[in-house]
Amino acid sequence: MTLVKYNKLESFTGSVKEDDIPNLFLIHGESYLLTRAFKALSSFLVGNDKRQFALETLEGGLVTMGQIIEQVATFSFLVSKKIVAVKNIPLFQTLQSSAEISFSPSEIDHFINFIEKGIPANHFLILTTSLIDKRKKIYKAIQDKGLIIDCSVAAGARKADLDEQRAVLQNVSGMILSKYKKTIETQAFHALVDLTGFNLDLFSQNLEKLIAYSGKAKIITTADVKTVIVRDKKDPIFNLTNAFIAKDVKKALFYVNSLFNEGFHPLQILKSFENQIRKLLLVKCFTQEFYQNNTSISLKRINFNSFKQAVLPKIIAHDEQTKTTIDVQEEYWSSKSSKKKSNKSNDLFLAPNPKNAYPVFQVFQKSENFSLNELKQSLIFLSDLDYRLKSSSFDAKTAIENFIINTCSKGGFVYAEKNKNRGNYF
């Protein structure tokens, strides 16, 4: 067996013979299901060994391919088994994708050679990632030498996709409720799904709240759901902007449709785009100047460690200069007014929290998906759309969908020149 669905993993671990256990595993798909599969698999592999000695966990974006291979190949003196887990490994990303990090072709070839020669006996390597590409050589190599655990769930809006999502939610609900010997009314389940959407992490958290709230009652009712659960509006907006800056048109359109179906006002969605594009504009202005003095560095290809060493110090220096400018301006205006100084906004800083550098790294890499002109055109368009939303009635959903398609298209987004004589309309 080279591939197993997440819901068949328990059956696999319960029936596989010791001699047939592979040394290599790849778990991919939906984060909640992936986490559960990883816990189940690692516990199975550790067995009677002490977990703290047998399992070593690495973060894919923070290690090199050489370090991964070295960890797997090095023998342990403390336990009989050695399990190395590399979470969020960027094996399938390329320079044309929206990935935060990618390995070079030579590094991938080196890894393929390593696994083809064979991982040492009693050593196991678990790789996890959200996305895969079955066309790539690395996928075929892992499938040939190991086991792939598929935790993916259809993310579309077709009936078949929605049916699959609901089936997964029912399965997760059953697993959680069975631990507490509780059930949930059918209508209550549907109400919970409507409030949560297909977000398994949020769904499971809300179900745990309902279990606690219901106390000794064996059945969770619709009244319980209406009392305890409120619609979460943060995550869908976050999903939309993430898909947008990744230029993933399909996902962005799916999330914007979900937001409208959930009752979001067009101005809320518009504001989320504006905030994201303003941030990307700040980054892009900085990177243009950065590239003039650092022609050998590509922010699209750079890894996290190199980013911290070569780019982050310059970002911090830039923010210090920005802070100094703001201080001078505030001192000037405070001398003209008796009002207290206002708190500084983090919106003008590239790295508001430089000690947490990874989110900064992600934004900088994703900014490479856009040109400076595309971002300018987008902001002008959103400004006009904002004006029109506040002054007239029209199909806002279609306008926002067109904005996503135009901005994420390969030809780039041109708006201002075509509409320069049309005032605040498009």
- Tell me the CATH number at 221: 1.10.8.60
Beta bridge partners of 83: 55, 124
- 222 contacts: CB under 8 Å, gap ≥ 6: 185, 187, 188, 191
Tokens of 345: 């906004």
Please tell me whether residues 388 and 252 are part of one structural domain: yes
Q: Are residues 165 and 296 in the same domain?
A: no
Check residue 95 and give its pLDDT: 44
Q: Do 249 and 347 have their domain in common? A: yes
Q: What is the pLDDT of residue 324?
A: 86
Name the amino acid, one letter, at 415. Answer: Y
CA–CA dist 58, 364 (Å, integer): 23
- Same domain flag for 121 and 31: yes
In tens digits, what is the pLDDT along the chain, a chain of 426 residues?
689 999 899 999 999 998 899 999 999 999 899 999 999 999 999 876 566 667 889 988 788 899 999 999 988 777 778 899 999 898 886 544 444 456 888 999 999 999 999 999 989 999 999 888 888 999 999 999 999 999 999 876 677 888 899 999 999 999 999 999 999 999 999 989 888 878 888 899 899 999 999 999 999 999 999 888 865 545 567 788 888 888 888 888 888 887 887 778 888 888 889 888 988 999 988 888 888 877 777 777 788 888 888 888 888 888 888 888 888 877 777 776 655 544 455 677 888 777 777 888 888 888 888 888 888 888 888 888 888 888 877 788 888 988 888 888 765 555 545 554 444 444
Domain membership flag for residue 417? no
Identify whether residues 117 and 222 lie together within a single domain.
no
Q: What are phi and psi of 166, to 5 degrees?
A: -65, -35
Which H or E run includes 402?
helix 396-408
On whether both 131 and 220 belong to a single domain, the answer is no
**19: Cβ–Cβ under 8 A, 6 or more apart, which residues?**
none
Domain assignment of residue 414, yes or no: no
Q: Do residues 310 and 262 share a domain?
A: yes
Instruction: Round to whole Å and give the CA distance between 266 and 217.
Output: 41
pTM as predicted: 0.57
Q: What CATH number has the domain bearing residue 403?
A: 1.20.272.10
- Decide if 237 is inside a domain: no
Indicate the helix (H) or strand (E) that contains 20.
none
Q: Which domain holds residue 105?
A: 3-151
pLDDT value, residue 46: 85
Residue 138 and residue 102 in one domain: yes
Neighbours of 191 (CB within 10 A): 19
- Residue 422 located in a structural domain: no
CA 56-57-63 angle, to 5 degrees, is: 115
**How many angstroms separate the CA atoms of 229 and 142, rounded?**
42
Query: Is 256 part of any domain?
Result: yes
Residue 60 lies in a domain: yes
CA distance 192 to 79: 45
Q: Based on the fold, state whether residues 252 and 306 are members of the same structural domain.
A: yes
Per-residue pLDDT at 48: 67
pLDDT of residue 97: 40
Q: Tell me what pLDDT residue 425 has.
A: 40
Q: Are residues 344 and 210 in the same domain?
A: no
Residue with tokens 């696999």: 12
211 in the same domain as 317: no
Q: CATH no. for residue 79?
A: 3.40.50.300
- Domain edge (last residue) among 112, 133, 151: 151
Q: How far is CA 43 from CA 25, 151, 218, in A?
A: 14, 18, 31
Residue 426 lies in a domain: no
Where is the domain boundary, 232, 255, 282?
232
Mark whether 39 and 134 lie in a shared domain: yes
* SS3 state at 370: coil
Helices and strands of the chain, counted as H and E runs: 18, 8
The residue out of 122, 151, 180 marking a domain boundary is 151
Asked whether residue 178 is assigned to any structural domain, the reply reads yes
- Tally the domains of the chain: 3
